[in-house]
Amino acid sequence: MGLKKFLKDIIGITATEELLRVQLEEEKAEKARLTAEKKFNREEKKRKEKEAEILLTPKEIASKRKEPWVDVLHLHVNSDDIRNGFYELDWNEYWVLKLKQEGYGTDGDPDEEIVSRWFRDISAFVAAEQGIDMTDRDVGYINIVKRGDGKSEVS
């Protein structure tokens, strides 16, 4: 046995060093456990968010992501007069914001009017693409009816 080790053993330095080494190893193990736990919790949170997202509608998903969304829900045609009908559109607030940014409306304009301007524009574009001249056509009027479920009917 070396003199240095013998002196450390007598005055308790060896025991103190051993205690510090054990404490350091325990701290490292605890830190590794906490890091693994945080990673697990993050992954678990992401998994739960994905599971919850499966239950959401496309509109809810887009709204959650703060993305513009619009959809034609239904096309209703009057069976007595097939030239008469209406589309049922649905959109989120981010779609209206995008339309405002594109010049279809300003703050204070009702959302339905902003969407209606866009829809008229896109309908005219589609007609023009098909070679249909809309300038001399009597296209009637656009009627917007707000429904109680947060949607509007445009006819």
- Give tens-digit pLDDT for 15-39: 788 888 889 999 999 999 999 999 9
Mean pLDDT (the chain, rounded): 85
Question: Tens digits of per-residue pLDDT, 95-146?
Answer: 999 999 999 999 999 999 999 999 989 988 888 888 887 665 555 555 666 6
User: Both 44 and 115 in a single domain?
Assistant: no
CB 152 within 8 A of CB 112: yes
More confident residue, 63 or 4: 63
Q: Are residues 97 and 44 in the same domain?
A: no
Could you tell me the residue range of the domain that residue 19 belongs to?
A: 3-54
Considering the domain boundaries, does residue 59 fall inside one? no
Cα–Cα distance measured from residue 91 to residue 105, given in angstroms and rounded to the nearest whole number: 15
- In this structure, are 69 and 133 located in the same domain? yes
73 shares its domain with 148: yes
Query: How do beta strands 152-154 and 70-77 pair?
Result: unpaired
Q: Residue 138 has what pLDDT?
A: 55
Residue 91 lies in a domain: yes
Predicted local confidence at residue 153, as pLDDT: 65
CB 120 within 8 A of CB 114: no
Residue 68: per-residue pLDDT: 98
The total number of structural domains in the chain stands at 2
Query: Can you list the alpha helix ranges (DSSP code H) found in 55-153?
Result: 58-64, 93-101, 111-129
To the question of pTM greater than 0.85 for the whole model, the response is: no
Do 18 and 76 share a structural domain? no
